[in-house]
Structure 1
């Protein structure tokens, strides 16, 4: 009996996997809560008598609040810990998701979506800080890739669930229902997750030793503090911010207007739109994890996971809007999604591996802030272009050009980014 017990394999599930699962759920609900409006948009437009430009503004106003509070949200996570910041944030945006379904005034709806964006703005910095805190450097690309699958599954689940709920109960019910799960996750984070892995009751010595390996790799003389102002002087930070801005011009344009494109240009029904809009994101789920995994494997050359795949994604978008048959449109949109999300998985592996853990929230929030600005510009600008031209062609050209510019900017990153020590402390210059 004793001999048998000695060969039983050790338990492989680690605390960091549980933390990643919670982060994944946070991102899933954040994407579902923000993306249901893309399917509901034609019905909201009809109820509020909105033209394409006004509908684009409704999509974009979320990103105004999201961009505005990205960096402050990252600072809060670095100062007070990701646990408090994240739990309050998800509770905040879940409440405002539910309230969206109860508004009957367009100006109030715009204001509500803006406030909703303020709450979601705290999530990116907090979640990347959690990954940097609980995951060793060698696994951060894969972890961010897994977390980023919500970029694909979120919209996919949102379009299917939203189409079904709208068909049964109308567009208002979907917002009321979607706000409930996030409240439960927010409470769980507050009660169970710890900012310091050493404080977690279930963490093992093996896990802590893996995290200590990163500390051992850093020279002790580099344990100086870094100010918030110094963070902004790092070229790699701005290179990544510009890349993410151009990439998100395409991502949010594609995500926000794809359902309307299929309904208006291709004549699909509501349910068919829900199914076909979900396909590229389901394909992208596999791609984004693979991109993060590849990023870890080519550590030091992570940009080469991003560049070619971003360009191929742009080429697929070109073939998509040139295609005449619905079948080819669906095929090319899946190709575009696969390569775009493969590029995205590689990109965030580069970001998380380039910044020190102590300022991870502020750094990643700065990068993501530029994506939020793109998220504000792209849906509104596409709506304006669609209204003025009567077609989606010019907006597709804009998305393709943005991917090319993102790839060109990535070429300017030379080699492996210089690493900073993980035991730095964030200090905010009062000046």
Structure 2
């Protein structure tokens, strides 16, 4: 990999790390927020879901903008807007404002994933893109480690300080992308290039785009369901502090890094041309780990199940999220990534609210929620058999 490409990967990873730190840190922040403002799980679920509703709304426009005005401009706007909303979240003090600020944060987040895919397509050869995308997706684990260690410990001190810190880190990420990512390729205005641009309506007619949209929706019901509620499960079931639950989740985040990196390596060296088989295998292993949480009453067994299920959930997601880089042409990669990413973020919107309601209706028991998550993951995995490579 060239020096230029290394800088591209580094810049995108720094930004993505902050994006995932923000997504993850809210799951620990809502614990003291709920206590301070007497919120139930449905209300805290609303705070988390508002973010993903806005995130979903911005995925397709974000991808379209990346195709039209260039990835770097959209990435920079995303990072600075998230910095502002992070500072604001640390200031406000009502359910209405918490929901509103997280909604605005979701709008900022929405442009980052499709613009990252566009930046990869602009700077890497086709055979390098899956590995590059998988490498960047390791930030799910890195961001999680930061959220569950640094973030959780600052939140233990006071949740407001956690968001002041987060806003500052986003400013740093903004500067890294500004100076390390090459300027966007000039928008080509020749008649030939205009003809090569595929309209959004044509992208939507591609069956594989719609199928991956559905798969990512189901996978992210699980990904963000676990991210949003696992700290609450650990603190309530085993009477742990936020910092203790964060330490357990950090172990899971480390294994998520291994899972994401391993996915890129395995798909390019072992499971070459066998993306579907890998997705199904990983989903089954993740579902078994989730199932272990249903029957576990021992903290050690629970930690093992949380860690292993987290690793295989991320492996399943990484294999699916990197798929568009292999099967879609460069001229629609931004739009296609935005569309399929919308499915993922809709899953993120559904998960906190639905799982919060399931837990409430079960009197605080998480078993029904875990069954729902495992089944969703398996259905999504088997739908992958319908995708045309």
Q: Given the two structures, how large is their TM-score scaled by the length of structure 2?
A: 0.94
Shift of 1:296: 2.2
1:363 aligned onto 2:351: no
1:169-215: CA deviations, max 9, x gaps? x111100111012123223433452345799xxxxxxxxxxxxxxxx
Gaps of 5+ in 2: none
CA distance in 1, matches of 2:134, 2:341: 15
Partner of 2:79: 90
CA contact (8 A) 1:291 1:344 kept: no
Shift of 1:126: 0.2
CA distance in 2, matches of 1:344, 1:249: 11
Of the three residues 41, 45, 48, the one matched with 1:52 is 41
Q: What secondary structure does 2:239 align onto?
A: coil
Of the three residues 96, 102, 120, the one matched with 2:109 is 120
For the aligned residue pairs, the C-alpha RMSD in angstroms reads 1.8
1:238-277: CA deviations, max 9, x gaps? 1111110100010010111010000001111222111011
Distance 1:196-1:115 versus aligned 2 partners, 3 A rule: closer
Partner of 2:95: 106
* Larger gyration radius, structure 1 or structure 2: 1
CA contact (8 A) 1:84 1:190 kept: no
Shift of 1:70: 0.9
CA distance in 2, matches of 1:324, 1:110: 34
Listed as ranges, the matches of 1:401-420 within 5 Å are 401-414=375-388, 417=389
Q: What secondary structure does 1:268 align onto?
A: coil
Shift of 1:299: 3.9
Listed as ranges, the matches of 1:262-281 within 5 Å are 262-281=234-253
CA distance in 2, matches of 1:361, 1:337: 28
Partner of 2:168: 180
Q: What secondary structure does 1:226 align onto?
A: coil
CA distance in 2, matches of 1:353, 1:339: 21
Q: Given the two structures, how large is their TM-score scaled by the length of structure 1?
A: 0.85
1:31-76: CA deviations, max 9, x gaps? 1123211111111111221111101111111001101111011111
Partner of 2:352: 379
Shift of 1:167: 2.7
CA distance in 1, matches of 2:239, 2:79: 36
- In terms of fraction of residues, the more helix-rich structure is 2
CA distance in 1, matches of 2:167, 2:196: 43
Partner of 2:327: 354
Q: What secondary structure does 1:265 align onto?
A: helix
Partner of 1:400: 374
CA distance in 2, matches of 1:385, 1:188: 41
CA contact (8 A) 2:197 2:331 kept: no
CA distance in 2, matches of 1:407, 1:189: 34
CA contact (8 A) 1:39 1:163 kept: yes
CA distance in 2, matches of 1:140, 1:302: 15
CA distance in 2, matches of 1:198, 1:115: 30
CA distance in 2, matches of 1:323, 1:22: 41
Shift of 1:81: 0.1
Matched positions, count? 381
CA contact (8 A) 1:240 1:367 kept: yes
CA distance in 2, matches of 1:322, 1:249: 21
Listed as ranges, the matches of 1:107-186 within 5 Å are 107-168=96-157, 170-186=158-174
Shift of 1:342: 2.0
1:285 aligned onto 2:257: yes
